[in-house]
Structure formats: structure tokens, C-alpha cells
């Protein structure tokens, strides 16, 4: 199905959770499966009461189990889908959290632009706010992804879907300064021409987890929300654009959403417009 790496990891985690549950109860993890409704129901109870997982996580695991056994049915490994009767818990509808314009302006001024670390952090924050891209998309950026002359960035989104996003002059200016400093400061000169855009001090690719930590470190200084993440900057990007009067279809394309319904949640949080 051409799913992204993160989707595949989440599917594997869901199935591993189920097999772990079965092993605890000394039940078979291989075909033929003989799971009663009570076994499947106990699994959901275990997720909610013992592991205290959120409704969204439990709903995802139900979906994965249904999909998995449906696949096994197609392959004629099983006759019955034991997960077909499971009912997903209702997801709580929560509005996306975002930073105000003044908070965002303050955040962008925080990293010092005199050293390589500050320039890198500043470039990351500027790109998130200027493009609204996902964390995984930013982490995978390459030098060839940036078109400085035309002020565009090419990103590879979910399902390996490519999209072109315009990027602001300020973000590009900071990024240029970072690349100049990076190439002269790298400890290993053989990595100067590395295709990876954001590197750690050792010249290796900056991981998604490290980027998230960088965002959180700076964002906590302008927001009381201690869980501020790169995704909150994506919410901020979309909300500010809609507040400024941008057409929702344009915002949908910039975010790389497949369905307009995913983008429409932002119409509930825009206030200025």
C-alpha cells in the first residue's frame, strides 16, 4: 500500500501489543486462531484499564487488528475475523493547540544566531512556521530539496506523496547562514557536502527526536504548555494562515492533507477572521 515508515512502525507496535497480551495468557500467536469474543474484549479492557492508553491509541489498535485478520481472511489463513465485532472507543474531539502571533514572533527570536547551534535551531523553527511541514518531512530534508532562487521546498509526505511548498525569505536567509557556518565548522570535513540538511555536531543526520527536543526547549519559554511539539507549530502555521484570510483549499494543499475534512478542524480555532 506504499505506507510511510512511521505508519508501518505503528502497525507493528499494535500487533506486538496484541501478541504480548496473548503470550501473557499462554494463547497461540500463530494460525489457526481460536480467539473468543471474551479474549478480544479482554484485550481492549487491558489496554484501557491496565495500560491506561488513550481512546485514539485503542481505536488505532482495533483498526489494525481488524485489518490484519481481514488480510489473513483474503490469504485464506483464517475463516473468521475475530476482531470484526470489536467497537472502537469514541475519540474525544479536541481542537488543535497553537501559538499566538506574538508568541510565535517571540519564539523565532530566541535562538542566538551567532553560533552553529543557534543558527540550526533558528532554521528549524523558521522552516516549521514558514512551511507547516511535518516533523518527519523536515527531518528528511536534503540540500537538493531547497530551491533558494525560486523560494520553494520539495518535501516527501505521507504515502511518498511529493509536494512543493513556498518558503519565506527570512527562513531561507537563516538557512543559508546555517549552511555556510555548518560547512566551515564540521569536525569531519569529508561530511561537508553531505546531502542531509540538518546535522548534529558529529556530522550525522539530526533525528526526529532531537528536532522535537529542540522545538520543545525553545517553545517552553514562550508558552505555558510544557508539551509543545513540532506538530503544534504545524497547527500554528495553518491557524495563522486562515486567520489572515487564506482559502482553506490552499491551506489543505500546503499541509498535504488528502481530505478537506482534516483541514476543516482549523476553522473552529480561527478567531481573527
pLDDT tens-digit readout, 244-267: 889 999 999 999 998 898 888 888
Percent of the chain whose predicted confidence (pLDDT) is above 90: 55
Q: Can you point out the beta strands (E) in the chain?
A: 146-147, 152-156, 162-166
What average pLDDT score do residues 14-29 get?
Answer: 90
pLDDT value for 269 = 72
> Above 60 in pLDDT, residue 175?
yes
Residue environment code for 227-263, b if the CB has 16+ CB neighbours within 10 A, otherwise e: ebebebbbbbbbbbbbbeeeebeebbebbbbeeeeeb
Lowest model confidence (mean pLDDT) among 14-23, 157-166, 231-240, 263-272: 263-272
> Above 60 in pLDDT, residue 272?
no
Top-confidence residue, 198 or 273: 198
Express each pLDDT in 112-136 by its tens digit.
Answer: 999 899 999 999 999 999 999 999 9
Return d(Cα 14, Cα 273) in angstroms, integer: 41
Average of per-residue pLDDT values in the chain: 88
Return d(Cα 40, Cα 45) in angstroms, integer: 9
Backbone angles phi and psi of 71, in degrees to 5: -60, -45
Return d(Cα 262, Cα 255) in angstroms, integer: 10
Q: For the full predicted model, state whether its pTM sits above 0.85.
A: no
Joined grid coordinates for residue 30: 500463530
Lowest model confidence (mean pLDDT) among 93-102, 187-196, 238-247: 187-196
What are the residue numbers of the active site? 134, 158, 231, 234, 257, 266
Top-confidence residue, 81 or 183: 81
Joined grid coordinates for residue 217: 526547549
Top-confidence residue, 63 or 34: 63
Q: Examine residue 32 and say whether the peptide bond preceding it is cis (omega within 30 degrees of 0).
A: yes
pLDDT value for 52 = 87
Do 122 and 178 meet the contact criterion of CB atoms below 8 Å apart? yes
Amino acid at each position: 500500500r506504499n505506507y510511510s515508515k512511521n505508519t508501518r512502525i505503528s502497525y507493528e507496535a499494535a500487533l506486538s501489543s496484541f501478541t504480548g497480551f496473548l503470550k501473557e495468557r499462554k494463547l497461540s500467536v500463530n494460525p489457526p486462531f481460536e480467539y473468543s469474543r471474551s479474549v478480544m474484549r479482554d484485550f481492549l479492557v487491558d489496554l484501557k484499564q491496565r495500560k491506561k492508553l488513550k481512546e485514539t491509541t485503542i481505536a488505532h489498535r482495533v483498526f489494525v487488528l481488524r485489518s490484519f485478520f481481514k488480510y489473513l481472511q483474503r490469504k485464506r489463513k483464517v475463516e473468521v475475523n475475530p476482531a470484526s465485532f470489536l467497537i472502537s472507543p469514541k475519540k474525544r474531539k479536541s481542537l488543535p493547540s497553537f501559538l499566538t502571533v506574538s508568541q510565535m514572533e517571540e519564539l523565532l527570536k530566541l535562538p542566538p544566531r551567532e553560533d552553529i547551534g543557534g543558527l540550526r535551531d533558528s532554521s528549524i523553527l523558521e522552516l516549521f512556521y514558514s512551511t507547516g511541514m511535518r516533523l518527519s518531512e523536515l527531518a528528511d530534508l536534503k540540500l537538493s530539496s531547497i530551491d533558494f532562487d525560486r523560494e520553494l521546498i520539495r518535501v516527501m509526505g505521507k504515502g511518498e506523496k511529493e509536494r512543493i511548498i513556498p518558503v519565506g525569505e527570512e527562513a531561507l536567509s537563516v538557512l543559508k547562514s546555517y549552511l555556510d557556518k555548518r560547512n566551515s565548522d564540521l569536525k569531519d570535513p569529508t561530511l561537508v557536502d553531505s546531502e542531509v540538511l540538518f546535522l548534529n555536531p558529529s556530522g550525522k543526520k539530526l533525528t526526529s527526536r532531537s528536532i522535537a527536543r529542540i522545538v520543545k526547549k525553545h517553545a517552553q519559554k514562550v508558552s505555558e504548555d510544557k508539551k509543545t511539539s513540532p506538530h503544534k507549530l504545524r497547527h500554528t502555521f495553518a491557524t495563522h494562515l486562515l486567520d489572515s484570510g487564506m482559502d482553506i483549499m490552499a491551506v489543505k494543499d500546503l499541509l498535504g492533507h488528502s481530505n478537506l475534512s482534516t483541514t476543516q478542524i482549523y476553522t473552529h480555532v480561527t478567531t481573527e477572521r
